[in-house]
Structure 1
């Protein structure tokens, strides 16, 4: 697997990453909120890429995993800057982002700003605009008051310690929304979504499919798959989607 390497960005952040050299397009894994590059999907895809002789990149956003910074200091825009920095410094030529949950939002932001770099796109339980449509839309009046007065609110998590949601995360999220303006994806796109996902709804996946425009876009619903989307069959479906956007048969 190799030792973790680090990239210094112009914003003064130190991003941890693992890079596999190989033939392109380079597959870039974009993880979820408070996730890291050691997750099941990221490591599985790296091993697959290495076996296939393909270029692959996984990294930690600032405030995540081995990268510098605190999670509570970050926001969607900061992590978008991290993504651009990693892609710009560590990849050449066409790329295929694979975005999981919040990483799906990051993949869409990247596609909006650098469509010429993208050869195809795969998302897994993509969570675009979740700061607005998930958090703010569901906050009680008491939570909104706590957020306004204290600058943050604590939310329980099914997967780890509670999330600390800051006012900065909410405010910056409003500047990064992708479902309120045209979103053209001029390359093959595959959205994967489990029907048993309690973090991202099927309705969100359908909304993204209906909102985005592009010549080759599909949503695949997987019955009873949850938000982790990382058991054997789900990992196989990710590989199928990757092969699909690359125009190759599944190896």
Structure 2
């Protein structure tokens, strides 16, 4: 059973926390995913085996946390992550961010810079509300979104469509990280599959080029998809985390 954190924002965030040595690891999941996903659960077991502190949680409107998904936005979910980091962890932390969680991890790296000592991203999707959703909408979809406050788009992961709200798009513009300087003054390992149908390789290359830091590396994995959850990919995440931890602890 999960535990729950009541945040200053009035949201009830579900989480699982494993005690252990630091730096701890905080896993940040993707859009409409939850903390029971393959990567989150696998990494928790891996952290336990290494005696490493680990935390996984559900953003508001996701999984077992309070709220409705359709009412949320990037700013809300980044605040959830900041509240979890502030209330439940101590000392330096390594963030592992998957898809949208990659974007959230970059926001935390700017807003809680003193708490972050390393970063692993998996198919990171920074600025996707603007560069993915909005840029890909037809004129008719944009008009519908602005007039009705929402538009539906097909989901490749669920039978029901995604509901994209005007609030999600407009708030996303306040959270963009690829338009302004992005200092990452700690070890960063980025992982990206070449067969990712949700996040193109060009996004990973753009992030690599844009981020500022002396220890940033990108690994492209031929034929890996967006889930990045097969045994080989999970092993690559473990390896990236170990390398970041080793450098962060020097």
Both proteins in one fold, TM over 0.5: yes
What interval of TM-score do these two structures reach, taking the shorter chain for normalisation?
A: over 0.9
The aligned residue for residue 188 of structure 1 is 187
Match of 1:57 among 24, 49, 55: 55
Match of 1:72 among 70, 77, 80: 70
Shift of 1:94: 0.6
The aligned residue for residue 156 of structure 2 is 158
1:205 corresponds to 2:204:
yes
1:229 corresponds to 2:228:
yes
How many angstroms apart in 2 are the aligned matches of 1:155 and 1:123? 26
How many angstroms apart in 2 are the aligned matches of 1:81 and 1:144? 27
The aligned residue for residue 170 of structure 1 is 169
Q: CA RMSD in A?
A: 0.7
1:243 corresponds to 2:242:
yes
Shift of 1:115: 1.4
The one-character-per-residue Cα deviations of 1:140-199 (angstroms, maximum 9, x if unpaired) are 011001101110000111111311000000000000000000000000000100000010
The aligned residue for residue 84 of structure 1 is 82
How many angstroms apart in 1 are the aligned matches of 2:114 and 2:155? 37
How many angstroms apart in 2 are the aligned matches of 1:247 and 1:36? 28
Q: What's the secondary structure of 1:175's corresponding residue?
A: coil
Shift of 1:247: 1.8
How many angstroms apart in 1 are the aligned matches of 2:83 and 2:29? 15
The aligned residue for residue 94 of structure 1 is 92
How many angstroms apart in 2 are the aligned matches of 1:199 and 1:90? 31
Shift of 1:215: 1.1
Structure 1 segments (4+ residues) deviating >2 Å: none
1:136 corresponds to 2:134:
yes
TM-score (norm 2): 0.97
For structure 1, the 5+ residue unaligned runs are none
Shift of 1:51: 1.1
How many angstroms apart in 2 are the aligned matches of 1:167 and 1:68? 21
How many angstroms apart in 1 are the aligned matches of 2:220 and 2:59? 28
